[in-house]
Amino acid sequence: MANNNSQKFSLKSFLAIWAILTAIGIWISIKGTPWLMMKSASHQMHTAILTVIVFSVAAAPVAAGIYAVQIYALAKWRYKGEGVPPDAEPLRNNVKAVSAWIGVSALLTTFLLIWGLAALASDENVSGPRPMTVNVTGQQWLWSFQYPIAQTLLHHNVESNVLEIPLNNQANFNITSVDVTHGFWVPSLGVKVDANPGAITTLSVIPNKLGVYDIRCVELCGLNHSAMITKAYVVTEKQFLTWLKAQPASQPVATATVKN
Amino acid sequence: MKYGRALLTSLLATILGAVVIAGIAVALAHLQPHQNPYSGVVGTTSETVNGQQVSVKHVALSLATYPDSLFTGQPHGANGGAHPDWVSYNHDNLVVPANSIVTITLDQYDSGGALNNSFFGQVRGTLGGTATFSTWGYAGCDPSTFVCTSTAKQSLADNGVKSTLTSNQWPYYSVGHTFTLRSTGSAPALLVSVPLPAVYGDKDGAFYGPQTTPNAIGGTYPIQHTTVTFSFKVKGPGVYQWNCEYPCGVKTGNFGEAMSTYGYMSGTLTVK
Amino acid sequence: MTATIDLQKTHAAESSGGGFLRRLNFGTGIIFGVIGALLGYFLPHHFFDNQGSAYADQCTVISAVGWVVGFWFGIGALAGPFKWFLGWDQTHADEMYLAGKNQGKKRYWKYCTDHKVVGVQYLVLAMVLLGAGGILAMLIRTDLISPGTHFVNQQVYNSFLSLHGMLMIISLIIAVAGPWGNFVMPIQCGARDMAFPRLNALSLWTVVAAAVPLLTTLFIGGIQDGWTTYAPISIQTGIGMNTFAIAIITFVISTTVAGVNTVCTIMTMRTTGMSLDRLPIFTWASLIGGALGLYAMPFFATAMTMTILDRSAGTSFFSADSGGTGWLWENMFWLMGHPEVYVILIPAVGALLEIATVFSRKPLFSYKTAIGGMAGIAGLSILVWAHHMFTTGWAPQLGGPFMLTTELISIPTGIIFLVAVGTIWRGNLWMKTPLIWLMGFIANFIIGGVTGIYLSDIPVDNTMHGTMFVVAHFHYVFVGSVLFGAIGAVYFWFPKISGRFLDEKLGRISFWLAFIGVQVTFLAMFVSGLRGMPRRYASYQPIFEHTNVISTIGAYIIMAGMLVSLANIILSWRSGEPSGPNPWQSKTLEWLVPTPVPLENFEVLPVIESDPYTYGEKEGAHA
């Protein structure tokens, strides 16, 4: 079939479309992300929100580029005649374009990776004042929290179905399950780890905002998975102690294993 | 094909699909395992608000936990239903009015052992923070040491002692089942959890005393069972999930079979 | 070439050959399968103790195995090995009978070795499984229209979401590789059939055999553990888990058989002159996808075997109180689970790139880079599995390395975009429905891919894992990308298998409904996840209501789009506009043979002198 060289490409129009789409993408990234994501109450959550913004801004020109090509192609390169279109100019390869594309994507990937590793390191180096341990038990279908600090301060055990932690103090969680795998998640604190039977997983976080936050199970654990919701209260140190003293004395931690 | 015909075909196909989905949904609604709502006895009582006595709705629910499904009445039907050997509550679909005080009297006919989480040995969310435990075979339990003295006898004729104790907990190593109620998130927050003492048995797990209660379909249950009474207040409308937190099932965590099936050790409380 | 639709009207001479196979078909398969299931259920009464919770599991497992073996027996799958064992040779008449010669429509209900028949059978099977999964999807979305549960309780809901996931995964694995990997690929190679024709039929009927226990799961109590059937809840859940496990093991037998067949066909049966660098891109995609499946799927079967053993035989691979761990399951599952999504994606990409060339009237852009991209995705996919386990608490020190490998995959994925974009670049775009589905794929795959990058970053994954954000991400890839490719492939190759076009107008209506539906459903779902809604929740908190309503409305729009294409297929099969053998003027070999394709594809095997992308080039310009 005859070559048809009438498929022109106007760099200016293409760049205009690309620029507009990129601008929209960046605007959505910066304005939309904080509005859509949960409010942050910790450094980890803040890091997560910031990362989403940065990744979105980085992805915006890439996505915009692909969409711009599609829009341009559908606008300018449609065959408007009847029947089978004539063949177009055979562009088999363009070494410069391929190298540039792979090079840019490698650079972007490297940037995303370095950012991600740095964010991960900063999330894991949690170091705050007066670290307090809370033992979290996931069970079908309720979270329960045990406060060893009560044994130290009040000489009896305290267990509760809500999490109460003091502001700006480091909270260390030891998390386990007595039956199946559950997922311990405090959305506003940006921390999540599974509660596995037979293992103890750990989390550390420093809450930096007072408030009441949800805790939800995120690993399907059977019948009432969607009911494994409780609250986390980030309160002042004084409120925490008042609350702790008001809790009834609980039985010592069960050492019995499951009845056979 | 002309556009008109294409649009008509599309519309018909869509309507057909929606009708199929609706049909299946309606059929499923009818096949729901737990129907038979139970509302107990509704009356009124009074509570003190700001120093004043105020009249408030009251619901009295009679629940029971059995070591099998061979008890009369729903929910399992003739011959104990599909799983006659599964432990079971006698109701699973509880319906109460909003802003009422619910009093549950629960007859517990099953043996037990140790909870795998002492959290559930505590009474939570009830009025006064306590429950009343009526048991045979326990002279009483010391709340500070969590030691219970047993006075189990060989048979009812020996006059086994019944004791009644009002407490905010029951020793975690001697529990039969629990009643644990929580919000699903779409209802106002509420947590109620009450441990239900195990029926005292001998070292081989046999119950003491005569074992029959009048029963039409063959289950035999100890006359010397435990009874727990507690009350709690429900506020706005919503659906709550309740289940037993004592591992009385099988398989992983002993939470399989009866423990993981609606209508046995798990159900809902709907506040209307 | 005149456009004649040559149906098999003449059943010429009395067909000899076949022997007892003449009496076996899908119906006898079912009959013997049911007999096998009943035998399997009642025989254990004599051998096992009727004590303990394992008993019901043992009976169910053996019953499900009985079904599969019975079905194979009844459909005639075991005839080949049986005859070989007895030393009975196949006559030429036997082989012709097996290939479906002179049997008309009946051969579609039988164990038929003609790869073209197998292809059409796969197409119908994929549509049936997609329909079943789709009905479950609509039930799920309808129940989620407001907080609280409605016509199903959480127990039933959990079963629905588990079966929806598995049915869709299976139907997507076979959606492109099944119909077109079988019908089109051997012709594209210039071969008369696949390397192992009997295995070809076996791979199809084994999926049918697997589908029955899978669907049975819903009726014997369901399962409560998602399609990912994590341990230890898979050990705890009801007896439905046994039929599910047997279904999976059976399905993996099918994919293994199919993978062997695909790879051997492509490596050994290409015609003269069809060197690897002249192979159409769809065949390359079939090769890479098939080989990757051979690596990945057996992990699934092994893990399911361990689940069965834990439930029925008292082993403790996954039970913590006997020294096992759920992390073992998770690792084994995702060792399969991640490569498996590329087993799904790569054939769809291959089909779409074929469409790109034909409907731009241009060669594939940077052919070798395209192959490198697909191979790179496949190879890297083997190294990324634990990015599904970032929040499990397993081996936190491996978080960094898995982040690295996962983010690296974006490079070969970008190459796919490059090749697609480069192919349509300055092409003469022929605006027919196959190209429109390609455009939809590109738009959706960007969103699917970018959202995957968020999830690959551990700090962000800590906020998004296990939420509806993940669900929206993989639905953008599975529905918005793979399914669009699969449907585009149907619109592309339908004239080849039927001699008729699918209606253009219905095709466009279907596309726009599906495309708009995907955006509405899953963009709202991203928001549900960002706001904190976990996945697999039968009832949710009121703050998630608005986005769920929008997602439900969107789901109905997608449903409409799918049904319109289904109506299109049904209506066009008999009364669509006749197309002739090569309506798209494509240069790949399947379009150069007549429609309907003769039994042995080619009168004379072709000799290849160039790749099939010589649009716009002079004769011999690109050899």
Question: Which band of pLDDT confidence, cut at 50, 70 and 90, is reported for residue B160?
Answer: low
- Look at residue B116 in the predicted model and tell me its pLDDT: 86
Bridge pairing between strands A171-177 and A132-139? parallel
Give the DSSP H or E segment for C434: helix C433-456
The model's confidence at residue B213, banded by pLDDT at 50, 70 and 90, is: low
A67 contact residues in C (CB cutoff 8 A) = 443, 446
Residues 6+ away with beta carbon under 8 Å from C154 = A223, A224, A225, A226, C538, C539
Q: What SS3 string covers C215-229?
A: HHHHHCCCCCCCCCC
The 10s digit of each residue's pLDDT in B42-80 is 888 888 878 888 899 999 999 999 888 888 766 677 777
- Residue C283, pLDDT above cutoff 90: yes
Q: Under an 8 A CB cutoff, do C411 and A105 touch?
A: yes
| Residue found under tokens 């979290």 | A136
H/E stretch holding A174 reads strand A171-177
pLDDT(C293) > 70: yes
Residue B17 has a CB neighbour count (10 Å cut-off) of 22
DSSP assignment string, C49-101? -S-TTHHHHHHHHHHHHHHHHHHHHHHTTTHHHHHHHHTPPPPHHHHHHHTTT
Q: Which helix (H) or strand (E) holds B28?
A: helix B3-30
Cα dihedral: C432, C608, C275, C348 (round 10): 20
C-alpha C364, offset from chain centre: 25
In 3D space, the residue among C216, C200, C203, C17 whose CA is nearest the CA of residue C114 turns out to be: C200
Q: Which residues in chain B are contacts of A158 at CB distance < 8 A?
A: none
Express each pLDDT in C344-397 by its tens digit. Answer: 999 999 999 999 999 999 999 999 999 999 999 999 999 999 999 999 999 999
Bridge partners (DSSP) of residue B46 are: B55
What would the pLDDT profile of C140-164 be if each residue is shown by its tens digit? 999 999 888 888 888 899 999 999 9
Calpha distance C592→B75 (Å, rounded): 67
B164–chain A Cβ distance below 8 A for any pair: no
Residues in chain B with CB shorter than 8 Å from the CB of A187 are none
CA distance C257 to C251: 10
- Cα C223 to Cα C165: distance, rounded to the nearest angstrom: 12
- Best CA proximity match to C222, nearest among C154, C142, C148: C154
Residue C170 has pLDDT above 80, yes or no: yes
Task: Report the residue count for chain B.
Answer: 272
Of residues A144, A178, A227, nearest to B184 (C-beta): A227
Per-residue pLDDT at A259: 27
- Residues of chain B in contact with residue C233, where contact means CB-CB under 8 angstroms, are 252
pLDDT for the residue numbered A256 = 35
Q: Measure the CA–CA gap between B224 and B207, rounded to whole angstroms.
A: 8
Give me the torsion for CA of C147, B246, B110, B170, rounded to 10°.
Answer: -110
* A128 — pLDDT class (breaks 50, 70, 90): confident
Q: 């039970």: which residue's tokens? A: C319
CATH of domain C115-592: 1.20.210.10
Tell me the residue type at C594.
P
When pLDDT is averaged across residues C469-476 and rounded to a whole number, the result is: 98
Whether residue B10 and residue C567 make contact (CB cut-off 8 A), yes or no, is yes
Q: Which of A45, A120, A225 has the CB atom closest to C458's CB atom?
A: A120
Q: Are C609 and C618 in contact (CB under 8 A)?
A: no
10 Å Cβ neighbour count for A102?
18
- Between CA C334 and CA C340 the distance in angstroms is 9
The answer, yes or no, to whether residue A1 has pLDDT greater than 50, is no
| Nearest CA-CA distance, residue B13 and chain C, Å | 6
- From chain C, pick out residues whose CB is under 8 angstroms from the CB of A72: none
CB contacts under 8 A, C 99-158 vs B, are 135, 138-139, 142-143, 147-153, 155-156
Min Cα separation B47/chain A (Å): 23
The DSSP line for B103-128 is EEEEEE----B--SSGGGGB-BSSGG
The answer to whether B139 and B161 have CB atoms below 8 angstroms apart is yes
Tokens 């000799």 found at: C607
CB nearest A144 (choices: B117, B169, B261): B117
Q: Please determine, for residue C280, whether its predicted confidence score (pLDDT) is greater than 80.
A: yes
Q: Flag whether pLDDT at B134 surpasses 90.
A: no
What's the pLDDT band for B210 if we cut at 50, 70, 90?
low
Chain B, 87 to 126: residues with Cβ < 8 Å from chain A are 112-119, 121-122, 124
For residue B145, pLDDT beyond 90: no
Residue B164 φ then ψ, to 5°:
-125, 130
Please report the residues numbered 66 through 95 in chain A whose beta carbons come closer than 8 angstroms to any beta carbon of chain C.
Answer: 66-67, 69-70, 73-74, 77-79, 84-94
Q: What is the pTM for the complete model shown?
A: 0.93
* Domain spans, chain C: 23-81, 115-592
Asked if C560 has any chain B CB less than 8 Å from its own CB, the reply is: yes
- Total count of residues recorded for chain A: 260
Checking if the pLDDT of B149 tops 90, the result is no
Q: What angle do CA C167, C123, C111 make, to 5 degrees?
A: 100
pLDDT tens profile C301-311: 999 999 999 99
Alpha helix ranges (H) inside B99-254: none
The per-residue DSSP string of C248-302 comes to: HHHHHHHHHHHHHHHHHHHHH-PPTT--GGGS-HHHHHHHHHHHHHHHHHHHHHH
pLDDT of residue A260: 24
Report the gap between the CA of A156 and the closest CA in chain C (Å).
29
Helix, strand, coil percentages (3-state) for chain A, rounded to 5, are 45, 25, 35
CB atoms A259 and B260 under 8 Å:
no
pLDDT tens, residue by residue, C4-51:
444 333 333 345 677 788 889 999 999 999 999 999 988 887 777 676
Q: Does the beta carbon of C319 lie under 8 angstroms from any beta carbon of chain B? A: yes
Q: Cβ contacts of residue A124 below 8 Å, gap of 6+?
A: C396
Question: Which of C408, C425, C439 faces A91 most closely, judged by CB atoms?
Answer: C425
Most distant CA pair in chain A, distance: 92
**pLDDT for the residue C2:** 41
Q: Which residue(s) pair with A192 in the sheet?
A: A185
C239 or C321, higher pLDDT: C239
Per-residue confidence band for B173, with pLDDT thresholds at 50, 70 and 90: confident
Beta-carbon neighbour count of residue C29 at 10 Å?
A: 24
Indicate whether C203 pLDDT > 80: yes
Read off the tokens for C578: 């006749």
Task: Give the chain B residue nearest C572 (alpha carbons).
Answer: B1
Chains interfacing with B (3 or more CB pairs < 8 Å): A, C
Q: From the CA of B250, how many Å to the nearest CA of chain C?
A: 7
The chains found to touch A (3+ Cβ pairs under 8 angstroms) are B, C
CB atoms within 10 A of CB C419: 25
Summarised one tens digit per residue, pLDDT across range B82-129 is 888 889 998 888 999 999 999 999 999 888 888 888 899 899 999 989
Contacts of C425 (CB under 8 A, 6+ apart): A9, A69, A73, A91, C362, C365
Record: contact A223-B252, CB cut-off 8 A: no
Residues linked to residue A229 through DSSP beta bridges, in sequence order: A216
Window C:253-312, CB contacts with B under 8 Å: 311
Q: Could you say which DSSP state residue A158 is in?
A: -
- At residue A5 the predicted structure's pLDDT band, cuts being 50, 70 and 90, is low
Render pLDDT for C433-448 as a digit per residue (tens, 0 to 9): 999 999 999 999 999 9
Neighbors of chain C by Cβ distance (3+ pairs < 8 Å): A, B
| Of A80 and C518, the one with more pLDDT | C518
Of residues B6, B16, B21, nearest to C509 (C-beta) = B6
Position C623 pLDDT exceeds 60: no
Amino acid letter at A164?
Answer: E
Nearest to C505 among B3, B13, B262 (CB): B3
pLDDT digit string, tens, across residues C568-598: 999 999 999 999 999 999 999 999 999 999 9
For B239, nearest residue in chain A (alpha carbons): A227
Q: Give the whole-angstrom CA distance, residue B189 versus residue B176.
A: 26
At residue C1 the predicted structure's pLDDT band, cuts being 50, 70 and 90, is very low
Mutation target vs C (from B2, B5, B8, B10; most C CBs, 10 A cutoff): B10
Encode pLDDT of C63-72 as tens digits: 999 999 999 9
Residue C511 confidence (pLDDT) = 98
- Reduce the DSSP state of residue B93 to 3 states and report it: strand
Q: Report the residue from C457, C532, C538 with minimal CB separation from A187.
A: C532
- Top pLDDT among C16 and C209 is at C209
Could you give the ipTM of this predicted complex? 0.94
- pLDDT at position C9 is 38
So what's the pLDDT on residue B151? Answer: 53
A48 touches chain C (CB under 8 A): yes
**Does A140 contact B114 at a Cβ distance shorter than 8 Å?**
no
For residue B239, pLDDT beyond 90: no
Q: Binning pLDDT at 50, 70 and 90, where does residue C471 land?
A: very high
Q: Which of B119, B241, B243 sits opposite A144 (nearest CB)?
A: B119
* Residues ≥6 apart with Cβ < 8 Å to C580: C1, C2, C3, C495, C499, C595
Q: How far is CA A171 from CA A122, A164, B119, in A?
A: 16, 10, 21
φ, ψ at A238 (rounded to 5°): -65, -45
> Which of B251, B264, B269 is the best substitution to test chain C (most C C-beta atoms within 10 A)?
B251
**What pLDDT does residue B161 have?**
65
C362·A87 Cβ contact <8 A:
yes
Residue of A145, A258, A260 for testing the chain B interface, max B β-carbons within 10 Å: A258
Average pLDDT over every residue of C279-302: 97
Of A48, A106, A185, the CB nearest to C459: A48
How would you label C136-153 residue by residue, b for 16+ Cβ within 10 Å and e otherwise? bbbbbbbbbeebbbbbbb
Counting Cβ atoms within 10 Å, is residue C106 exposed (0-12), middle (13-18) or buried (19+)?
Answer: exposed
Residue A162 has pLDDT above 70, yes or no: yes
CB-CB contact of C234 with C243 (8 Å): no
Cβ contact, residue pair C236, B253, below 8 Å: yes
Chain C interface, best mutation among A9, A70, A214, by max C CB count within 10 A: A70
Q: Which residues of B touch C564 (CB under 8 A)?
A: 9-10, 13-14
Summarize pLDDT for C82-111 with one digit per residue, the tens.
888 999 888 888 888 889 888 888 899 999
Classify residue B29 as exposed, middle or buried by CB count within 10 Å of its CB (0-12, 13-18, 19+): exposed
Sign (positive or negative) of CA dihedral B116, C314, C55, C236: positive
The amino acid occupying position A67 is Y
Q: How far apart are CA C539 and CA A225, in angstroms?
A: 9
Three-state DSSP class for residue B101? strand
CA angle C402/C405/C406 to nearest 5° reads 80
Q: In what order do the strands lie in the sheet with A182-186?
A: A163-166, A229-235, A211-217, A182-186, A191-195
Buried b vs exposed e over B79-90: b needs ≥16 C-beta within 10 Å? ebbebbebbbbb
Copy the structure tokens of residue C431. 């605006």
Nearest to C586 by CA among C279, C424, C357: C357
